[in-house]
Amino acid sequence: MARLILASSSPRRKELLEQVGLSFDVYSPDIDESVFINEQIEPYVERLARQKAQAVLSQFPDATVIAADTSLVFNQQIMGKPESKQHAFEIWTQLSGREHAVLSGVCVANAQHSITAVVRTQVEFQVLSHQMMEDYWATGEPIGKAGGYAIQGYAAQWIPRIDGSYSNVVGLPLHETLALLKQLNEYSEYA
């Protein structure tokens, strides 16, 4: 099998792939993550995953690349990473007591083939008090996280239910990613 590269600097994606025993290198491409005018969320995360994979393949053409992009969506709006404490509180106020979706576009590619999938997980949040938000902000965990929370950390206590892939909410849907990798290897054997 060709050299495997994770096209991401996310420590969570790295940990997830290590968890299932994969050996890989990490290379984080620099791409424009702007949303196109009228672009829907599913095509957006799929496009970014594909662009990340292609950017890495342009540097390492003999590699097999795993790339992903994950967005948290509420009311058809992408909720990014909090830029400040105030922004985090605004995000959490919207999520409090409601459901939101986490969508990941995943692309597994080599020089001959590129295959993608989009995975959606519904996440239910309990009602958050102002003090809960203050306490969470003080942990430092929300910084750099889409939606300002980490399901695998302190915020797990606020999530009574998810519908879909847990690892998707962490940052990479493992089941689907490994299925794509297997499919790519099968394509490559017969190419």
Amino acid occupying residue 171? G
Catalytic entry in 30, 69, 135, 163: 69
User: pLDDT-derived band of residue 14, with 50, 70 and 90 as boundaries?
Assistant: very high
The answer as to CATH 3.60.10.10 being correct for domain 4-189 is no
Q: Is 163 a catalytic residue?
A: no
Q: What is the pLDDT of residues 175-187, one digit of tens each?
A: 999 999 999 988 7
Task: Look at the pTM and tell me if it is higher than 0.85.
Answer: yes
CB 17 within 8 A of CB 24: yes
Virtual torsion, Cα 35, 38, 41, 43, nearest 10 deg: -90
Encode pLDDT of 72-112 as tens digits: 999 989 998 999 999 999 999 999 999 999 999 999 999 99
Tokens encoding 170:
């962490």
Report H helices in 62-191. 85-95, 130-139, 166-170, 174-189
Domain ranges of the chain: 4-189
- Report how far residue 54's alpha carbon sits from residue 10's, in angstroms, rounded to the nearest whole number: 18
User: Whole-angstrom Cα distance, residue 13 to residue 163?
Assistant: 20
